[in-house]
């Protein structure tokens, strides 16, 4: 039983907004990483080719989430990327949840939570496929 049943018809619109916000974050991140993959790879300690692959995956996954195409597969791929980022921060950089100067893994955790909603709902009714 829900406290505000009158909001239930709006859930698909809320999922579109969620998809838009999550997708834009990944589109922007992937785009900026592709502009200078060498520098980005060096800053995070990854080879240039892997950085290009991850950036392209973020960009294409973000687009897929926004337009609602293969939404669940895109969400799974983006979750895996975020889990990799968390793993790097926790085990390699020894960063805590909040991190130093706000550079912890809280951001990735929030994105994973949002992606799990998209995964479990397929992004709502307004998807292409």
pLDDT score at 24: 98
pLDDT score at 108: 97
pLDDT score at 100: 82
Does residue 110 surpass a pLDDT of 80? yes
- How does pLDDT run across 1-14, given as a tens digit for each residue? 789 999 999 999 99
pLDDT score at 41: 96
Rounded Cα gap, residues 32 and 48, in angstroms: 14
Rounded Cα gap, residues 33 and 47, in angstroms: 13
Give the DSSP letter string of the chain: --S-GGGGGGHHHHHHHHHHHHHHHHHHHHHHHHHSHHHHHHHHT--HHHHHHHHHHHHHHHHHHHHTSSHHHHHHHHHHHHHHHHHIIIIIS---SS-GGG-SSHHHHHHHHHHHHHHHHTT-S----
- How does pLDDT run across 11-70, given as a tens digit for each residue? 999 999 999 999 999 999 999 999 999 999 999 999 999 999 999 999 999 999 999 999
Say what the pTM is: 0.95
pLDDT score at 6: 95
70 neighbors 88 (Cβ within 8 angstroms): no
Backbone angles phi, psi at 126, to 5 degrees: -95, 70
- How does pLDDT run across 73-108, given as a tens digit for each residue? 999 999 999 999 999 999 999 999 998 877 899 999
> Who contacts 105 (Cβ-Cβ below 8 Å, separation ≥6)?
85, 86, 89, 90, 95, 97, 99
pLDDT score at 102: 74
């Amino acid at each position: 039983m829900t406290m505000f049943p009158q909001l239930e018809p709006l859930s698909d619109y809320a999922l579109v907004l969620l998809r838009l916000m999550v997708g834009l974050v990944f589109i922007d991140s992937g785009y900026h990483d592709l502009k200078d993959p060498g520098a980005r790879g060096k800053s995070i300690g990854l080879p240039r080719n892997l950085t290009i692959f991850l950036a392209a995956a973020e960009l294409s996954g973000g687009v897929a989430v926004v337009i609602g195409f293969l939404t669940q597969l895109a969400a799974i791929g983006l979750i895996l990327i975020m889990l990799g980022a968390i793993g790097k921060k926790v085990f390699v950089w020894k960063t805590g949840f909040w991190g130093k100067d706000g550079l912890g893994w809280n951001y990735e955790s929030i994105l994973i939570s949002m992606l799990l909603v998209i995964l479990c709902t397929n992004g709502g009714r307004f998807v292409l496929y």
